[in-house]
């Protein structure tokens, strides 16, 4: 079998993870905190190309975003921050539901496309994404998103543990440090996923 068989449109969904203002734009919290966003625009553009290719081929495009509220905040996260010497109450929280930081950037969900609002790194933890993918008769995921070592990696690992075939569009993912991106891809390739790129995926879906 080849990539054309593995990610055929009748079995595959494109999963776009956490491409949101707080993770991607200078005015978002990651930008305000001084993180290096230089690789993010290329990943956003690649994800837009993937979404266009998927829609043209009839591949479901599924969006995942972090949407937090005070009620869903993690006590474990807050305590970890305190143990590291930080005050979790000192600044604004990431991707507050209803706030500009949670808005999607790059590819935008179409009205008929699934959007999953998660509160942890992986949507398999606290949404019904597995059930909805089953309704779509999907057994394969092509994943793009932010950031490679965090929510992309956790989503990919949980998808694999739920028996999905996982492909990572490496150029449609980004991290704030090159070694984190490279290390995450190496870990995913070793344990969980098959690495590919936007051009290869688009070529299959355009065939």
Residues 25-47 have pLDDT tens digits of: 999 999 999 999 999 999 999 99
Q: Report the pLDDT value the prediction gives residue 73, as an integer from 0 to 100.
A: 93
Q: Are 46 and 169 in contact (CB under 8 A)?
A: yes
The per-residue pLDDT for 86 is 87
Question: Rounded CA gap, 152 and 15, in Å?
Answer: 10
Task: Return the pLDDT at 92.
Answer: 83
Q: Which residues of the chain have pLDDT under 50?
A: none
What was the pLDDT predicted at 207? 83
Tell me, what's the pLDDT at 97?
97
């Amino acid at each position: 079998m080849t990539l054309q068989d593995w990610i055929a449109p009748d079995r595959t969904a494109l999963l776009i993870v956490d491409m949101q203002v707080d993770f991607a734009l200078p005015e978002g919290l990651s930008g305000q905190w001084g993180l290096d966003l230089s690789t993010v625009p290329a990943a956003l553009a690649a994800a837009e190309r993937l979404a266009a290719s998927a829609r043209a081929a009839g591949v479901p495009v599924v969006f995942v975003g972090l949407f937090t509220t005070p009620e869903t905040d993690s006590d474990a996260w807050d305590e970890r921050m305190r143990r590291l010497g930080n005050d979790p109450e000192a600044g604004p929280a990431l991707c507050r539901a209803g706030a500009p930081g949670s808005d999607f950037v790059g590819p935008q969900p179409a009205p008929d496309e699934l959007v999953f609002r998660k509160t942890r790194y992986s949507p398999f933890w606290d949404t019904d994404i597995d059930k909805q993918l089953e309704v779509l008769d999907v057994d394969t995921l092509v994943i793009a998103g932010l950031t490679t070592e965090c929510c992309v990696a956790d989503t990919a690992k949980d998808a694999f543990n739920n028996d999905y075939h996982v492909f990572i569009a490496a150029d449609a993912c980004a991290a704030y440090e090159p070694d984190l991106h490279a290390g995450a891809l190496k870990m995913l390739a070793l344990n969980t996923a098959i690495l590919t790129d936007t051009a290869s995926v688009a070529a299959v879906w355009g065939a």
